[in-house]
Amino acid sequence: MHSSLTIYKRELASYFSQPTAYAIIVIFLLFSLGLTFTFGEFMRVGDSSLEWTFLFWHPWVYMLLAPAVGMKLWADEQRTGTIELLGTFPVSTWSAIAGKFLAASTVWLIALLLTFPIVITVNYLGNPDNGAILSGYLGSFFVCCTFLAITMLVSACTRDQVVCLIVSVSICVLLLLSGYDPVTRELSKIVSPAVLDGIVAFGVWDHFSSPNSGLFRLKDFVWFGSIIFVCLLGTSAILSAKRA
């Protein structure tokens, strides 16, 4: 626990002592709010729930930016050889994984919290259900954590950050497209309904749409939780296997 906290602090400080965190946060805010006022048609629709105008765009932005935050986590450690220090300190691999994962999640939590002006705006202009907005934010954060966990798993496999970025983005794109309505419609022409159901259940939208609309379903959080858990478990397995 203590060592996790130490690693967490180091990782978080490393994000903010370099331009990484600032760049990511600024770009995230520009994109998420930019999309709200352009394609989200925030002003024209006049919907104060934020579901379609704002939160809907988050997974699309995470798809590109979450891997950019997570790619260095183990790739850099392996490239510079500091993994040898970490591996000979009296800490378990799990506490290092937990510390690193939580640090990357914290960067995103800060980014999400900094979108607060839009929440104030809808409360000023309309009368939204703030519980539903909170649920949407939570869903959005979980999508991001899922992408981070996938990136972490990929970053344990390679010492090259660029390879890690490309592979992780591809996986995230795949998760995002399976279950995205236009894609589902096209797929329904080729595959059987049972296969299609499987593909949809595998994708992000099936699990993001309900918390985003204010519906807090346990099964969605089980889905996010299990993907994150499996990815972290895989990270630990890969790191141990690489040393043997």
Partner 1 sequence: MIEVESLTKQFGSKLAVDNLSFTVKKGEVLGFLGPNGAGKSTTMRMITGFIPPSHGDAKVCGISITDNPRVAKTKIGYLPESAPLYNDMTVTGFLKFCASIRGLVGAERNDAVERAIETCFLGSVAKQSIDTLSKGYRHRTCLAQALLHDPEVLILDEPTDGLDPNQKYEVRQLIKRLGKTKAILFSTHILEEVEAACTRAVIVDRGRIVADGTPAELLEQSGTGSLTDLFREVTTRDTEAAA
Q: Which residues bind partner 1 (CB under 8 A)?
A: 2-3, 6-7, 10, 13-14, 17-18, 80-85, 87-92, 243-244
- Please tell me the distance from the alpha carbon of residue 95 to that of residue 87, in angstroms, as a whole number: 11
Q: Tokens for 2?
A: 């203590």
Nearer to partner 1, 99 or 203 (CB): 99
Please state the closest distance from residue 13 (CB atom) to partner 1, in A. Answer: 8
Judge residue 90's burial from the number of C-beta atoms within 10 Å of its C-beta, 0-12 exposed, 13-18 middle, 19 or more buried: exposed
Nearer to partner 1, 8 or 57 (CB): 8
Nearest residue to 14 via CA among 88, 6, 146, 67: 6
Please state the closest distance from residue 85 (CB atom) to partner 1, in A. Answer: 6
Nearer to partner 1, 18 or 130 (CB): 18
Residues 104, 10: contact at Cβ < 8 Å? Answer: no
Nearer to partner 1, 17 or 192 (CB): 17
Please state the closest distance from residue 89 (CB atom) to partner 1, in A. Answer: 5
Please state the closest distance from residue 59 (CB atom) to partner 1, in A. Answer: 30
Q: Kindly state the DSSP code that residue 189 receives in the 8-state scheme.
A: T
C-alpha neighbours within 13 Å on the C-beta side of residue 23:
9
